[in-house]
Amino acid sequence: MENNVKVDANELEWDNDSANDTNNENVHYKIHRSKGKCDVFARQIDVSVQVKTKPTRNDNGRYHSASSAINVPPQMSVPIWHDIWFQIAMHIEPDDVQRFALICKQTSQLVNTRSFWYSLYRRYCHGCFGWNLKLPSHLQIDEIRSSSQCNTKALRSLVVQALFRCHQKLKIRLEVGYSLDWLKQRIYVSCWQKQYQCLWIMCYKFWNQQDHQHQELHQQKLANEVINDDWEQLAHDNNVPASLWSSSNPHEGVVLLIVVCSQFVPIPGLLSYGQQESRFRLLATRELLCTDMRAKNLELDFTENTSKNNIVTVKYPRIEKYKVLPWWHPDFQRFIK
């Protein structure tokens, strides 16, 4: 009886081995037929990784079990050298700059260097003979070098304006235009009017929240500050009052809303504010079709920056058109005041 049991067990072991051999042959056969394309044919349940750990001895001289002695080592991170990131940065597309800057601190520092922005300009905006006919004179390479000098912010501002005129993907964004929703939650700064023949042009100036805080801080300290472009002196002397805003673009972060009307609409006086008063921000916009279906009405809702209780609504009946102009738009300088 015992012999029969042993024979049956051996037969079972032999059957398992033969089944495994058959599966291996099928896998190798499929790999051979597919010329290596089915190299990942093995199922996940067929592959297992077993971690063997040695028991550890505690202070009392006793050994812990293998399951309790498992200590997962911390993941080792291999740093990438600065030179490698620099070589990668020389091949970054203009619309991927933000993604590249958010990878790590090294990439963020590279984006804030002059060599990075000069590289973008040479690849996409530099002409064959050093002059690009698509760019105005102040965005040519010689003018950029002389106007930006040692300020990276000024160089970045000029290169961004040039890229929106030369790079195809960025040019498409300008052609499509920006919607009114893009202006929501922006800080209202000022508004003014212009008359062109029989049309009235209303210009609204908005700031980003972060840029608005920087500009206010700059305006408060401008009277007591001494402009200093020597970065080495600024780095070693904390007592030197200095400002770097003067050499950068003062309109960076500014967005204009241009509304063209055939009727005169006075400037909303409720949006004016004093030095100690809270600023308004754009809460909502509405485009309403007129009753005759031939024109549109535009409504703008402004609210105080500190509360939503005080809402000022400005209505423009039968507008001809409107346009949103960020600071890098080619038509921005025509309307800015």
The per-residue pLDDT for 9 is 45
What is the DSSP code (8-state) at residue 110? H
CA 5, distance to chain mean position in Å, is 72
Q: How confident is the model at residue 34 (pLDDT cuts 50, 70, 90)?
A: low
- Domain ranges, ordered by start, for the chain: 2-37, 82-175, 177-208+253-335
pTM over 0.85: no
Q: Please answer whether residues 288 and 299 qualify as being in contact, where contact means their C-beta atoms are separated by less than 8 angstroms.
A: yes
Single-letter code of the amino acid located at 316:
Y
- CA angle, residues 188, 190, 194, in degrees to nearest 5: 130
The per-residue pLDDT for 262 is 87
Alpha helices in 38-113 (DSSP H): 82-89, 97-101, 105-111
Rounded Cα gap, residues 127 and 109, in angstroms: 28
Rounded Cα gap, residues 151 and 47, in angstroms: 58
Is residue 109 over pLDDT 60? Answer: yes
The per-residue pLDDT for 17 is 55
Q: What 3-state class would DSSP assign to 40?
A: coil
The per-residue pLDDT for 12 is 43
The per-residue pLDDT for 204 is 93
Rounded Cα gap, residues 140 and 147, in angstroms: 11
Q: Which of 299, 307, 304 is nearest to 279 (CA)?
A: 304
In Å, what is the CA distance from 325 to each residue of 139, 146, 262, 319?
A: 19, 27, 21, 17
Is residue 243 over pLDDT 70? Answer: no
Lowest-confidence region among 125-139, 168-182, 257-271: 125-139
Q: How confident is the model at residue 255 (pLDDT cuts 50, 70, 90)?
A: very high
Rounded Cα gap, residues 186 and 302, in angstroms: 10
Higher pLDDT, 24 or 70: 24
pLDDT in tens, 283-313: 999 999 888 888 899 999 998 877 777 888 9
pLDDT in tens, 98-107: 899 898 888 8
> Which contacts of 88-95 are long-range, i.e. CB under 8 A and separated by 24 or more positions?
89/116, 89/119, 90/119, 92/120, 93/169, 94/120, 94/124, 94/163, 94/167, 94/169, 94/170, 95/167, 95/169, 95/170
Rounded Cα gap, residues 7 and 243, in angstroms: 93
Beta-strand pair 254-261/296-304: unpaired
- Cβ-based neighbour number of residue 327 at 10 Å: 19
Rounded Cα gap, residues 39 and 80, in angstroms: 31
Q: Please answer whether residues 336 and 251 qualify as being in contact, where contact means their C-beta atoms are separated by less than 8 angstroms.
A: yes
